[in-house]
Structure 1
């Protein structure tokens, strides 16, 4: 098949910015140096661009995992233009198609099954998606958002104003225009581009499939550090409507912290989370599947697989009982149905079911460690 036409504008932007970042920035650092104010400003701009993509483009607009005040949406819209990754409307449209048809080489805009290079940057260098450039039928909801449409219509002007205006303004104020353009302009943009691109490429290649094997997405804590929490990608692809990617308190997800922090200030609301029991069941199902594969070649495979299944079924039953009691308890607290909830029979039953579930988890874990 004949390859689609090269998009020379995209190629030029990626090549020129990369060459300046890879050659001119180190040369300037050696011959002239960058001071702390310039480095700090570059880091601030990098974070601003990254958060505008992860908290704005991705979790707010593409997946509607929460709602935000117009002022925050405006900040994200400007930051998205500064990140130079197309308009909210176009980005979200592509991303929704990616989730709906993930790993389908014929439909997924940046299918990881077409290789690292293609999913990382190659999909933007040729007109693979030409037939969809003006088809926004899957983002009709976003077309009702005035800020989204304002940014879409004025995207080119906003990208020029931010990518040239901010570095030049800071350089004139600080007294070193060249340093500012190189560091805040070129290096910041290249880092912003490729850390975001890693989510489409590395996050579908490197890491663990904690919750599902139905797609190539992986969980990778190391990658999460460079992508503002987006590295927990396996979780995201099965629970895409959750405003969190790193659901454990210790998982690095600054985008989650920003959204939650803004909630305390009244700037975000209707934060959506996935039910704990569904998340836990997905995790346990993957553990079961992986250990079934390990035991399949064991001399006593039939007996051990039966015991493994029994331990799993028992755990799921006790997990269901515990979460049913938890939901009942939360409902009673919310509606104030019991005078002293802490001393109630309902609370006593809740703790008993929790203890039974924990004991079964230990039994399940002991069996796996002993046999698998």
Structure 2
């Protein structure tokens, strides 16, 4: 059973922590809730605060602020991220950002730390538990290493994580409830259970968001948009967009898309705590959507041109095929115009964007009609 496990490659401390906290979360936590009656509003209020604080410290801070420099933040925001981000037990800002920048630079290739091509489990957490290659040098975060606060966090990350993540919630609950059992609740619920939930939410961005969902902006990499993942990851689920436009402070750019991290950054900007929020222009976003739509349409038309359809099926599909040909011509014209708009940085009306997006949806509807025929591969 264990003969194929490369034990010499196991990261024993990291693996023990990940397995140990998960084991406590599925055994000790339910037992505590069943046997102890201190599960009051305060314990759960602290749990939800810590979940939001540590989760947003990763998505807003480690990810969008430090890894991608998508906005600037005042000192209170930075220190909040430094302290509560450490409590997420995902290493320091410097280490996390270095690995994430390598992921973007080498996505889906050998130097991608959590390469999805090595399997879902590897991308989820296997890359943390095993090191198949020598540790890559931290040489791509020179900008972050100039910040004394980040250097301090990097140096003392495990002490900060232990205090903020486990000791502090244990002390708070112990003092509030005035008992050792209350303190145990703080450790198990606010410390252990919350850590497991926040960590696996982050891990799902590396695994599920490269595995399930749509690719409206590009199919040159495995990243995908998933509204379901966005719910559990503070808006990070729109991963196809993020890989195309990684320096945008938003992941969910459409009004209906769920992105609490974006909303938080925007709200903080209104009280002067964040600034210089970087945004990709509507023209550039639409250009990517049109290019991806043209690529998918061409694949669909190529399949339609083959011999796999009977004459009856071809006649039934002819209206959709004709519509796709027309859409292809229209989108080509839109694409050429948008290239000029992006190059010259010309703004155009929201009404025009809405019309073009409606054309895109109609073209995709015709493509979906073709995809309903099993002879056309779903990967189109």
Q: TM-score, normalised on structure 2?
A: 0.84
Contact 1:109 1:129 in 2 (8 A): no
Structure 1 residues 150 and 293: alpha-carbon distance in aligned structure 2, compared to 1, 3 A threshold: same
Distance 1:127 1:279, change over 3 A: same
Pair 1:313 & 2:315 matched = no
Of 145, 148, 165, the residue aligned with 2:147 is: 145
CA distance in 1, matches of 2:262, 2:363: 35
Distance 1:17 1:314, change over 3 A: same
Contact 1:59/1:66 (CA < 8 Å) preserved in 2?
yes
Question: Residues 74-113 of structure 1 correspond to what in structure 2 (within 5 A)?
Answer: 74-104=79-109, 106-113=110-117
Do structure 1's residue 246 and structure 2's residue 217 form an aligned pair? no
User: CA distance change for structure 1 residues 308 and 44 in 2, over 3 Å: closer, same or farther?
Assistant: same
| 1:249-270 per-position Cα deviation (integer Å, ceiling 9, x unaligned) | 2211111111111111111111
**Counterparts in 2 of 1:154 and 1:317: CA distance versus 1, 3 Å:** same
Q: For the residues of structure 2 that align with 1:363 and 1:207, how far apart are their CA atoms?
A: 22
Tell me if structure 1 keeps the 8 A contact 2:201–2:233. Answer: yes
Which residue of 1 is the match for residue 215 of structure 2?
Answer: 209
Residues 364 and 247 of structure 1, relative CA distance in 2, 3 Å threshold: closer
Partner of 1:23: 27
In 2 relative to 1, CA 26–140 (structure 1 residues): closer, same or farther, beyond 3 Å? same
RMSD (CA atoms): 2.6
Query: Counterparts of 1:68 and 1:80 in 2: how far apart (Å)?
Result: 15
Cα deviation for residue 370 of structure 1 reads 5.1
Is residue 2:138 matched to residue 1:136? Answer: yes
- Separation in structure 2 between the aligned mates of residue 213 and residue 259 of structure 1, nearest angstrom: 29
Unaligned residue ranges in structure 2 (runs of 5+): 306-313, 371-380
**Are residues 325 and 108 of structure 1, via their aligned partners in 2, closer, same or farther at CA, if it must alter by over 3 Å?**
closer
Residue in structure 2 matched with residue 346 of structure 1 by the alignment: none
Query: How far 1:297 sits from its partner (Å)?
Result: 2.8
Q: Which consecutive unaligned segments of at least 5 residues does structure 1 have?
A: 329-349
- Name the structure 2 match of 1:66: 71
Alpha-carbon separation, structure 2, partners of 1:67 and 1:82:
22
SS at match of 1:83: coil
Give the TM-score of the pair, scaled to structure 1: 0.85
- Partner of residue 265, structure 1: 271
